[in-house]
C-alpha cells in the first residue's frame, strides 16, 4: 500500500481493464482520483463506485476525448479547479485496430495515432505548467511490449506505443530539473476483456510465448504504476518498466 494522501491523480481510459485497476489501486492509497473515459457510461459509473469504495479521498468522472487538444486542456483546468491540484497523470487511454500493413485504412492509422500518442502528448502539455508551478509531479505513460518488439498485424498500434517511449524519455529530460518524473510501463499480454474473448486455444498459444507461462493481470500493471507514482520511486525517471512475464527482455 502506498500513501497518496492529499494527492490527486488523473487516470485516462480509467473506466475498464488496466485503467480501472490503476485508478482503484491509487485510491487504496487514499489518492483523490479523476477518472477519464470516452463514452461507456455504465463502465465509468462502476469504476467510480469501485474507486470510492477503495478509499479515495475524492473521486470524479470526466468524459472527454484525449485526442482533442482543447478538450484535454479544458479537462485539466477543471480537475485543477475541482481538486486544487494535480500530482499524478497516468496516460492509459488507448485503442487498437489490428490489421496487416497493406490493409490498414488511413482513418484507422490516424485514429490510433491521435488517441494513443497525441492523446498522451495533449495531456502532458496541459499538466506541465501546473506541475512546474507546484514543483513536483509524476507522469506515467502506458506503452506496450509490442512497442519494443513489434507485432505482425499491429503496425499502427505498435508504432504509437513505440512513440510513447520516445515521448517519455524526452519529457523526462525536460522536466527532471523541476522535480517532475516521467516513466513508461510496457505491459505484455494482459488478461482483460479483449483477451478474455479469445478462444482458449489462442490464449494457450499466447501463454506459450511467455517465460512465466501465464497472462498478466490488470493488477500486475497497476501495482507497477502505483510504485512509479509513489515516493518510493523518487529517483526513477526516463525508464521503461516491463511488466510482461519475461516475454521481451
Q: Where are the domains of the chain?
A: 8-240
Return the bridge partners of 216, or none. Answer: 190
Point out the catalytic residue in the list 2, 37, 157, 248: 157
pLDDT tens-place string over residues 233-249 = 999 999 999 999 999 99
pLDDT tens-place string over residues 24-44 = 999 999 999 999 999 999 999
pLDDT tens-place string over residues 83-113 = 999 999 999 999 999 999 999 999 999 999 9
Return the bridge partners of 91, or none. Answer: 141
pTM, two decimals, is 0.97
Q: Does residue 157 carry a catalytic annotation? A: yes
Residue segments in the chain with a per-residue pLDDT below the cut of 70 = none
Q: Which pLDDT does position 45 carry in this prediction?
A: 98
Reply yes or no on domain 8-240 having CATH 3.40.50.720: yes
Q: Which pLDDT does position 129 carry in this prediction?
A: 98
Q: Which pLDDT does position 78 carry in this prediction?
A: 98
Q: Which pLDDT does position 206 carry in this prediction?
A: 86
Amino acid at each position: 500500500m502506498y500513501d497518496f494522501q492529499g494527492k490527486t491523480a488523473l487516470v485516462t481510459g480509467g473506466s475498464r481493464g488496466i485503467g480501472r485497476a490503476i485508478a482503484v489501486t491509487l485510491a487504496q492509497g487514499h489518492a483523490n482520483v479523476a477518472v477519464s473515459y470516452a463514452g461507456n457510461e455504465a463502465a465509468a459509473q462502476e469504476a467510480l463506485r469501485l474507486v470510492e469504495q477503495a478509499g479515495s479521498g475524492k473521486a470524479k468522472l470526466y468524459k472527454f476525448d484525449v485526442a482533442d487538444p482543447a478538450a484535454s486542456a479544458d479537462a485539466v483546468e477543471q480537475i485543477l479547479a475541482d481538486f486544487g491540484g494535480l500530482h499524478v497523470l497516468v496516460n492509459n487511454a488507448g485503442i487498437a485496430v489490428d490489421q496487416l500493413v497493406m490493409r490498414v485504412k488511413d482513418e484507422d492509422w490516424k485514429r490510433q495515432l491521435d488517441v494513443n500518442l497525441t492523446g498522451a502528448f495533449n495531456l502532458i502539455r496541459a499538466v506541465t505548467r501546473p506541475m512546474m508551478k507546484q514543483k513536483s509531479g509524476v507522469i506515467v505513460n502506458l506503452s506496450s511490449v509490442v512497442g519494443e518488439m513489434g507485432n505482425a498485424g499491429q503496425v499502427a498500434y505498435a508504432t504509437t506505443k513505440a512513440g510513447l517511449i520516445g515521448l517519455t524519455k524526452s519529457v523526462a529530460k525536460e522536466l527532471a530539473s523541476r522535480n517532475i518524473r516521467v516513466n513508461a510501463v510496457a505491459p505484455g499480454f494482459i488478461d482483460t476483456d479483449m483477451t478474455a474473448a479469445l478462444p482458449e486455444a489462442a490464449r494457450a498459444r499466447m501463454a506459450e510465448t511467455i517465460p512465466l507461462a501465464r497472462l498478466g493481470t490488470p493488477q500486475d500493471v497497476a501495482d507497477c504504476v502505483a510504485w512509479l507514482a509513489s515516493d518510493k520511486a523518487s529517483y526513477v525517471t526516463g525508464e521503461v518498466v516491463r511488466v510482461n512475464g519475461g516475454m521481451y527482455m
